[in-house]
Amino acid sequence: MAMMIPTFLLKKLYVKGSFKNTANGFELTLKNALAPGTLLGFSPLQIDGRTIALEQIFICVNDGAPRRASAITLNQPNEFPLNATVTLRVEDQPLAPGAHRVTVQVNTKEAGALKIDAEDTIE
pLDDT in tens, 49-85: 999 999 999 999 998 899 999 999 999 999 999 999 9
What is the arithmetic mean of pLDDT over 28-37? 92
Going by the DSSP 8-state scheme, the letter that residue 71 receives in this structure is: G
- Of 122, 93, 114, 109, which is closest to residue 30 (Cα–Cα)? 114
Q: Decide: 5 and 73 in contact? Cβ < 8 Å.
A: no
d(Cα 121, Cα 96) in Å, to the nearest integer?
9
**What pLDDT was estimated at residue 3?**
59
- Give residue limits of the domains in the chain: 7-122
As assigned by CATH, the class of the 7-122 domain is mainly beta
Q: What is the separation of C-alpha 1 from the centre of its chain, rounded to a whole number of angstroms? A: 22
Is this structure's pTM higher than 0.75?
yes
**What pLDDT was estimated at residue 76?**
96
